[in-house]
Amino acid sequence: MIQHLSFEYEVYTSSDQLSKEDAFLLQQARSITAQSYAPYSKFHVGAAALLTNGEIITGTNQENASYPVAICAERVLLSALSSRFPGAAVTTMAISFHNQKNNKSRHPISPCGMCRQALVEHQFHFGQTIRLILSGQEGEVYLIKDASSLLPLGFSAEDMQ
């Protein structure tokens, strides 16, 4: 027997096609890339999330001379969230980036595997689906309705029952 897994995502040619709320969140992610600490990779990632309490929280990647110590923007955001707004959950997260070679990044990036796992844990913890808005500093935008669709057959607390 062969099983097939597939998922759908929406593609927009620019942020102009998003709702006002989504476009604003993406703008926050795009601009917060300036606060990333990425002297080693020079790959500056920014994340901005709308929470169930209506607040917006941001995060940027934080690197370290001891490379494995680095933390991605998405997980910096999730850690800050639990101390600043305990009990609030992410409803939508926008992720953007820029790098030195290509300050005008034009294509979306997608969360790394470790961040996908962290996003799924957050969804499980709060029973709240996370929408993702992915885009560079300009150009195409991907909209993913459920972050867990990026981690098919992922491991979660349910597997430990």
> Position of tokens 């981690």?
151
Residues near ligand THU (CB under 6 A), total = 13
Q: How far is the CB of 20 from ligand THU (least distance, A)?
A: 26
Residue number with CB closer to ligand THU (23 or 150)? 150
Residue number with CB closer to ligand THU (22 or 63)? 63
Tell me the β-bridge partners of 10.
143
Q: Does 34 bind ligand THU (CB under 6 A)?
A: no
Compute the distance between CA of residue 63 and CA of residue 56 in angstroms, rounded to an integer. Answer: 23
Compute the distance between CA of residue 79 and CA of residue 74 in angstroms, rounded to an integer. Answer: 9
Q: How far is the CB of 130 from ligand THU (least distance, A)?
A: 14
Q: Does 80 bind ligand THU (CB under 6 A)?
A: no
Q: Does 43 bind ligand THU (CB under 6 A)?
A: yes
**Of the residues 41, 91, 117, 128, which one makes contact with ligand THU according to CB under 6 A:** 41
Q: Which residues contact 158 (CB under 8 A, 6 or more apart)?
A: 124
Q: Which residues contact 137 (CB under 8 A, 6 or more apart)?
A: 30, 33, 96, 97, 98, 103, 104, 105, 106
**63 annotated active-site:** no
Is residue 89 within 8 A of residue 124, CB to CB? The reply is: no
Active site residues: 74
The residues that touch ligand THU, with contacts defined as CB under 6 A, are: 38, 41, 43, 45, 61, 63, 70, 72-74, 111-112, 115
